Amino acid sequence: MPVLPELPVSHVLPEIGTALAENGRAVLSAPPGAGKTTLVPLYLLDQPWRNDGRIILLEPRRLAARAAASRMAFLLGEQVGETVGYRMRLDNRISGKTRIEVVTEGVFARMILDDPELSGVSSVIFDEFHERSLDADFGLALALDVRTALRNDLRLLVMSATLDVERVAALLDHPPVIESRGRSFPIDVRYRDRPSGERIEDAAIRAIVEAHAGETGSILAFLPGQAEITRTAERLEGRFGSDTLIAPLYGNLGQKEQDAAIRPAAKGTRKIVLATSIAETSITIDGVRIVIDSGLQRLPVFEASAGITRLETVRVSRASADQRAGRAGRTEPGIAIRLWHPGQTAALPAFTPPQILSSDLSGLVLDLAHWGVQDPTSLAFVDQPPATTLKEARALLRELGALDKDGTLTARGKTMRDLALPPRLAAMVVSAGDSGHAKEAAMLAVLLTEQGLGGTSIDIEDRLRRFKVEKGERADASRRLAGRLARGLDKISSSAPPLAGQLLLHAFPDRIALQRGGRGRYVMANGRGAELSETERLAGSQMLVIADLTGRATQARILAAAEISRGDVETQLPGVIKTGEQTYFDLPSRQVRARRATRLGAIVFDETPLPRPAGEPVAAALADGIRQLGLNALPFSKEAIQLRERIGFLHRTIGAPWPDLSDVALLERLDDWFTPYQSDARGLSDISAGSLASGLMALVSHELQRDLNRLAPTHFEAPTGQRHPIQYDGEEPLLTIRVQELFGLKQHPAIGGGRLPLLLELTSPAHRPIQTTRDLPGFWAGSWKDVRAEMRGRYPRHSWPERPEEALPTTRAKPRGR
């Protein structure tokens, strides 16, 4: 073993080796740039307990896996694929000599499912576990199960830069927790508050230009997504000389472009890297000493009831903000510029929400069934998957034929799981094999799981045609993968391949769509609406099958689809079009009605009206109507709206057990809070505001209800005794109040047990805003002098003391006794 470089994690390496030797499990917390990703696996190579077993290092992304393997191989003076290799979906650099395998988290879950004993593996390292991907959570749960039942010699190490150590340590039965303190160099954290309404690109560009002019070193700017990065890069182009390179970095970039972004800048040059959260962890961009953080990230949110995963732009967690700032201090003193006010940091959630709470769980449920588990609580998950999402996942898998009515894996389900595809696409490939078209379906499945293949057309038929002749290493590897997936699945020989839409019917039967309401407007079999731009060729199609869409369930935008006909549906899915009686929500009248109809789910081909219905089906139909119209259709009272905002604020800042009351969460849980309270309603006009407030409060346990007023009060009582409502609809709680009512107050008003300062909007006697502050004592000592000078002229009959912190509060023009 060559001499390893000296990095902050170096001093705890012996402690890690001892902990794994004696306890078999350990947790390592080390800051960004500490060297844990590369030094820990290399150090463990020489541990006596390893024998000749392989070390598996899990990384959250392909870019991180390639970078980690390359760095370790370099330190050993070898090529990747010798002692250190990597394994991922489309790329494999492993040989008989390989003893450290860097794998993506999804690959590890499949490794352990296929070989529960993990033969030849001595230890598994979960790197950057704080990201809490679904695959990492599942992989750790499986590894703990294997260690308990089959391999008590299997060593497990969980590593992270920012980690909820107590919860993870409890899950691992309280092993040694090792902390690598400090980072290589100090970081100067600065704040540049972004004005309300300003685009994030404008604020980022201003900060980048200022930092480039006033500081040395390369810049790493975190932006929420690809669109913002592209726009920022376009506007920065040409602003700097030839000695500064603008380098985007996001998941959809090719490997060469990603490698160029993380490669050190050439001597005498600087680099401005514009990155998503992909650059938060695992990879190090040499030369960066300035980090500019937008404070935003884009996270996938799954709507179980609609089967739609959409990307939502949200505030980063405090852990992510710390992680991003840490990127600046790896090789020299650094600067982190945060594009928000310092007072807003306390309102950030502590950690990024784990994917298991907001993801499609159909793949997880399929893998659990293969593992022989129907109840996830029997495995050690840090957070148990939500019951509602599990229910929807099981229903989908039964519909796809993967599970029987008892939740047991069927023979078809076993074949689907073996394909290493999302369950819908696996079902498509298996069904295509019955008619001899497995290879065509596998090509389509790979196309849909590897972004960018075949171009960006919404028409999947067009993209598939392009993919078949596309040149390049990635396209070749993808076609080879499709060949491997289809091997042995064709039950008969076939002639002409089917159209893409005919194949997709077996993956997305609930997203069969009929044009309704004009060109480009569709209703899907699941009852949701979807839209295409009228200029798209497919917008004129009478029927589509939709493979991908985004946006909220009430106004989803189609991203990928193929044309079909009713005849295709009847041929490919015989019996799915049914005739019978139905209680349904009538959108034009906003009432619940009954009919005898020939339909495919919510798609009605013909109908006959029936007498108006009553009973439980009416409440269920009303809930379907709300899913179509959105929560804005409900008559929430002001009190109910404020209740929802207060609970939502506590969920954002504290997290569980405070429930999520966002639109998405409430639409998914209509059966919990809405339907039980609508037994007498037959239409939207019959829904009372009181029933909605009662339903919302039912989502909060009695124990939490007692804490609600303490942590998120409805009002603030001013020194005058007047009560003023607190607004929770923004990013931080807001109190609007006349400045005279706060005279005599020496501390800034706060809620949440005094932890979170209120954002004060101070107004004049005429209730016009004069100042916004998160630091009232600072305002008294600072800009009050200027405000006082201006206000005395406008409102001479009111009190404007020189030392307001010593004055009496008042609601009057002239205080009593003066």
Q: Which of residues 749 and 185 earns the better pLDDT score?
A: 749
Whether the upstream peptide bond of residue 574 has omega within 30° of 0, thus cis, is: no
pLDDT at position 183 is 61
Tens of pLDDT, residue by residue over 435-467, are 899 999 999 999 998 888 888 899 999 999 999
* 3-state secondary structure (DSSP) of residue 809: coil
Q: Chain-centre distance of CA 553, in angstroms? A: 17
Helix ranges (DSSP H) in 421-472: 423-434, 438-449, 460-469
Render pLDDT for 78-118 as a digit per residue (tens, 0 to 9): 999 999 999 988 788 999 999 999 999 889 988 999 999 99
- Tens of pLDDT, residue by residue over 123-140, are 999 998 888 889 999 999
Cα→Cα distances 446→200, 412, 452, Å: 34, 20, 11
pLDDT at 508 over 50: yes
Which uninterrupted H or E stretch holds 785? Answer: helix 784-794
To which residue do tokens 């009496």 refer? Answer: 808
What are the pLDDT digits (tens) for 685-739? 999 999 999 999 999 888 888 888 888 899 998 998 899 999 998 778 899 999 9
Residue whose structure tokens are 């230890």: 123
Helices of type H across 165-263: 165-171, 200-214, 226-236, 255-262
CA distance 549 to 542: 18
Question: Using the 8-state DSSP alphabet, how is residue 566 labeled?
Answer: H
Tokens 């800009």 belong to 783
Q: Out of 278-287, 371-380, 653-662, which region has the weakest mean confidence (pLDDT)? A: 278-287
d(CA 102, CA 86): 4
Q: For residues 273 and 211, is the Cβ–Cβ distance under 8 A?
A: no
- pLDDT interval class at 783 (50, 70, 90): confident
For 375, the token pair is 């109840």
| One-letter amino acid for residue 106 of the chain | G
Contact 200, 222 (CB under 8 A): no
Q: What percentage of the chain reaches a pLDDT higher than 90?
A: 51
CB 699 within 8 A of CB 651: no
Yes or no: say if 108 and 354 are a contact pair by the CB < 8 Å rule: no
Residue type at 7? L
Mean pLDDT of 24-30: 92
Q: List, in sequence order, every residue forming a beta bridge with 544; answer none if it has no partner.
A: 513, 563
Lowest-confidence segment of 116-120, 148-152, 550-554 by average pLDDT = 550-554
* Tokens (6 digits) for 573: 């899915």
What average pLDDT does the chain have?
89
| Residues 281/208, Cβ–Cβ less than 8 Å | no
**pLDDT given at position 398:** 93
Please report which confidence band the pLDDT of residue 14 belongs to, taking 50, 70 and 90 as the band edges: very high
Residue whose C-alpha is closest to residue 367's, from 624, 110, 76, 664: 110
Q: Give me the pLDDT at residue 485, please.
A: 92
pLDDT-derived band at 818, boundaries 50, 70, 90: very low
pLDDT of residue 151: 92
- Chain segment 726-740, per-residue pLDDT in tens: 999 877 889 999 999
Residue 532 has pLDDT above 80, yes or no: yes
Q: Edge-to-edge strands of the sheet including 591-600?
A: 578-586, 591-600, 603-610
Query: Looking at the predicted structure, is the pLDDT value of residue 655 above 90?
Result: no
143-146 long-range contacts, CB within 8 A, separation 24+: 143/112, 143/118, 144/171, 144/172, 144/379, 144/380, 145/371, 145/379, 145/380, 146/112, 146/116, 146/117, 146/118
Domains and CATH numbers, the chain: 8-179 (3.40.50.300), 187-355 (3.40.50.300), 632-711 (no CATH), 715-806 (no CATH)
Task: Say whether pLDDT at 553 is over 70.
Answer: no
First to last CA, the chain: 84
Judge contact between 291 and 327, C-beta under 8 A: yes
Contacts of residue 331, defined as CB under 8 A and 6 or more positions apart, other chains included, come to 33, 184, 185, 286, 287, 289
Average pLDDT over residues 770-777: 88
* Crossing angle for the helix pair 62-76 and 255-262, to the nearest 10 degrees: 60
Structure letter (DSSP) for residue 660 = P
pLDDT band at residue 306 under the 50/70/90 scheme: low
- The burial class, CB within 10 Å (0-12 / 13-18 / 19+), for 746 is exposed
* Lowest-pLDDT range of 142-151, 249-258, 774-783: 249-258
Per the CB < 8 A criterion, the answer to whether 105 and 90 are in contact is: no
For the ranges 102-111, 519-528, 549-558, the lowest mean pLDDT is seen at 549-558
Residue 392 has pLDDT above 50, yes or no: yes
Task: Using DSSP bridges, classify how beta strands 756-757 and 218-222 pair: parallel, antiparallel or unpaired.
Answer: unpaired
Q: What is the pLDDT of residues 165-176, one digit of tens each?
A: 888 888 999 999
* pLDDT for position 751: 87
- Token code pair at residue 814: 């002239």
pLDDT at 119 (0 to 100): 93
Q: Are 531 and 520 in contact (CB under 8 A)?
A: yes
In which band, very low, low, confident or very high, does the pLDDT at 504 lie, cut at 50, 70 and 90?
very high
